[in-house]
Amino acid sequence: MSFEEHDQKALLYQPPPSSTQAAIPVVYVDGDQAAARVNNHPYANHGNGNAGANGMTRNLSSASSPGGQEANPNVRRSSSGVLRSRYADHPNCDVCGLAFDVTKRRHQCRACGRFICGNCSPLLLLIPEGEQIEGAKGYDPSIPQRACLHCAPRLRPLQEALVAQYAKANAETAPHEAKSRLHVPFSPTLEKECTNAADIIGNFFRRDSGSSGDRSIPIGMLEKAHGLAIMTIVKVGFLLVGKVGTGIVVSRLPDGSWSAPSAIGTVGLGGGFEIGGEIVEVVIILGSPAAVQVFHSPQVNLGAGLDIAVGPYGRSAAAAAAVSSSGLNGNYSYSISKGLYAGISLQGSVIATRNDLNRKFYGQDLEASALLSGSVGQPIAAKPLYEGLDHAMRGIQEHKEVLAEMSRMMGPCSNCNCQVFVAHAHQVWNKKCKTCNHVH
């Protein structure tokens, strides 16, 4: 959603003065009616917000009644095309009077029951439990519902309290023990994505800064990262290979904490002499603030919009993490495969923000930029994710304590005047002093 569209939609929801009948602003987006116009409608009485719940009768005005007098010459009279029979029982929008068709689909306000088009319900809002219409399809008090222009002014002031009461982001979660397990490469909720990410973090990061494990990522890479994208991807094909998966992205804030998670999904196609399939766990380490900024956009093209290199493991990764005191020299991707392929390439893949999952989790529409910049606090329901990150980060302090103990045990050098043994921070296997290059 552009800023201009956002401002237009915000104007649509400004409550009118109670002393006069409101003029309902309607944004027309089809053809010759692309400009915004104001159309008076007899349903402009905002005080009748619960009419649908009390058995509202739909006596349409002449603007929307097929047999009435034309109030607006530009209003289409009836549905046409492939959806004519589907919308025959109620062919026109109850707010703007335009006919429903394949480009202007019919929706229903969950608060009052009016049949409306997308232009007359541009935002989704939480509706208090008990105030929804009877038999509201897909109603959940924690998920924003479709509301028309007449009900929105009444619902908007309630949103902050409703988010605090109903949003899934504020719900307590059951204790989660991070462990290696097979994850489905599609999760319907952001809560599940957070628990999956906690397991994946445990699979990738060692709890020390050494590199004795040749297929592990030293915690120093996590310490220097400005952000993480964590996904589970399935890759299948015969010559033409398809990739699809879901996950989350988080950023490191200036105070060292982690931001609220934003749901992401990826899809891509490739070729080659490959037959079979696999499930792959992927971690992308974002090495700079600019790389995190790329994920503020609704869509990221890997290789074009964001350069990613296959990350080093073991000692090579330790050396890469030690090059700079802050940040990394690039963005690195790591994968653990569970199938018939040897690995996965993300070049050419597209990563997009899953706005539907974010909306269902946070109870409101939030841009990825707001989540990753720290404007939203850490959600309670994402606790397993932060516990997994903290568990990995604790290895740094433990490693520093090990180095200090080694210095005390070694004593002064017998070959030179070096009095204190200094261990190699990223080479725990190296028994030579970092200062004098002797074995104390």
User: What residues contact 395, with CB distance under 8 A and at least 6 apart?
Assistant: 205, 206, 207, 208, 209, 219
The CATH fold assigned to 1-166 is: Herpes Virus-1 (3.30.40)
Angle between helices 383-410 and 190-204 (to 10 degrees): 20
Cα–Cα distance for residue pair 259/328, rounded to 1 Å: 19
pLDDT tens digits, 66-85:
333 344 444 445 555 556 67
Indicate the pTM of the whole model.
0.72
pLDDT tens digits, 391-440:
888 766 676 677 667 666 766 776 777 767 777 665 555 667 777 777 76
Cα–Cα distance for residue pair 84/81, rounded to 1 Å: 6
Torsion of CA 191, 195, 200, 205, to 10 degrees: 110
DSSP 206-257: -SSS---STTSB-HHHHHH-SEEEEEEEEEEEESEEEEEEEEEEEEB-TTS-
- Positions of CATH 3.30.40.10 in the chain: 1-166
pLDDT tens digits, 234-292:
888 777 778 889 999 999 999 999 999 999 999 877 766 667 788 888 999 999 999 99
DSSP state, residue 302: B
